[in-house]
Amino acid sequence: MNTQAARQDFPILNRKINGIPLIYFDNAATTQKPRQVIDAIVDYYTNHNGNVHRGVHTLSTEATDLYESAREDTAKFINAKSPSEVVFVRGTTEAINLVAYSLGCSNLGRGDEVLVSLMEHHSNIVPWEILSKCKGFTLKYAKVHDDGTLDYEDFESKITAKTRIACLSHVSNVTGVINDVKRIGKVAHENGALMLVDGAQSVPHMRVDVQDLDMDFLAFSGHKMLGPTGIGVLYGKKAILQKLSPFQGGGEMIKEVSYGQERCSITWNELPYKFEAGTPNIAGAVGLGAAVKYLSDLGMDNVFAHEKELTKYAVERLKECNNITLYGPRDLSKKCGIIPFGLKGFSSHETAALFNEYGIAIRSGYHCAQPLHQLFKLESSARASFYIYNIPSEVDRFVEILKELEG
C-alpha cells in the first residue's frame, strides 16, 4: 500500500493546528474522509437528490440506484450472502439497540440469559442492562485478564442452555485487543445461542468475512471507516432477521396497513426494509459506498499489515520514554493499531491538551468503556490510534514530544 499516495486523498491532512501540521491519531473515534467520499456526497446532493423507493421520476430512481448500490457493495465487503442481510442504521450503537430491542421485547424474559464481556463499549452494555430490568432476564459478564485480553474459559463457561445471545467486540476500542469471535460463536451455537459481534473497530481495519466467522449479527459504523457520520450497518443472517419484529415503526418498513373493526392490521415489508423506517440517510449510504470502494481498492490485508507494522514501530519507539505506561497486552499479534497509555504527572485530558498544542490529536477519557478502566484501576487513559494515512515520521514526532514533556 502506497501510504504517501493515499495521504494525498485526504484534504484535512493539509490543516494546521496552532500553526503546526496536523497529526491525526484519533482514528478509533472517527477517521478522516478522502476526496472520493466527499465528492460522492457532493455529487449526490448536486445531481441526484431525491427520496428512495417511492418515486418513478428520474431523481428518485437515481437516488434509489445509488442507495441500493451502496448496500450491494457493503454486502460484498463483508461477504454477506445477500444484500438483504445488510440493514442501514445510524451506526454501531443503533445496530446493537436494534438487535437488543427487536430480540428482547419479543423473545427474552425471566429464566433467559444474555452474556457480554467486561471489555465492551457502553453501547454493548447499556441496552442490555435497560432491557434486563424491563424483561427480567439475567445479564452476565465474562471476565477480562489484567492485560486486557478476554478470559475465554470464563466466557465459554458462562454460556449455558439458558443463554439466548452472546455479545462480544471483535476488537477492543480501548486496547486494540483482537478477540477470537469465531471460537466464541461456535460455543454459543453449540448451546443454541445467537452471537452478536461489535465490529466498529474491526471492519475498518481488517478483512471481516461474516460467513467464515459464522456471525449471526455484526454491527459497524461508517464514520470509523472513511465514511460519513450518521450511517452504519447491521448485518444479520436472513433467517434470523425474518423472525425478528421491527425496531421502529413508520414509512417504508410496512407493506400494507388496512383499517377495519376500529383497528389497523399491518404487514411488514420484506428484508431489509422492515428495519429501515422513514426516509433513510441516503447521502450517508452513498458516502459509505464510496468508502467501501476506496478500502476495497487498497485491499484490507494491506490496510491491516500497514497498521500492524506502524503499531510495532510505535511501541518500539515508546520504549525510549521513561514516564509513560502502556496498557493492554504486550503481545502485538493480539492487537490492532490502538495504543492506550498514561503519562506520569498528567491526567489523560491534560496529556491530550498538551499534544494538541503541538498539532497532534489523540483521545482521552474512558472511551465509553468504564468497566474496563475499573479493571485497570484507572481514572481514564490517553489513546493514540492509527489508520491508513499515518506514517512513521508522525510517530517520531509523537515520541519527540513525549520526551519533551518528560522534561
d(CA 337, CA 316): 13
Closest by CA to 229, choosing from 31, 67, 75, is 31
Q: Point out the catalytic residue in the list 105, 134, 264, 368.
A: 368
Angle between helices 348-357 and 392-406 (to 10 degrees): 120
265: part of which helix (H) or strand (E)?
A: strand 263-268
d(CA 122, CA 198): 11
Strand 86-89 vs strand 232-236: parallel, antiparallel, or unpaired? antiparallel
d(CA 346, CA 367): 17
C-alpha cell at 60: 428518485
H-state helical runs in 214-347:
238-243, 282-298, 300-318
Rounded (10°) CA dihedral 274, 182, 71, 83: -60
Residue pair 71/196 in contact (Cβ under 8 Å)? The answer is no
Residue 366 amino acid letter:
Y
Active-site annotation holds for 368? yes
Closest by CA to 23, choosing from 398, 390, 402, 360, is 360
Residue showing cell 440517510: 281
Residue showing cell 490492532: 336
SS3 readout for 176-238: CEECCHHHHHHHHHHCCCEEEEECCCCCCCCCCCHHHHCCCEEEEEHHHCCCCCCCEEEEECH
Instruction: Compute CA distances 260 → 223, 235, 254, 255, 265, whole Å.
Output: 45, 36, 17, 17, 8
List, by residue number, the catalytic residues: 368
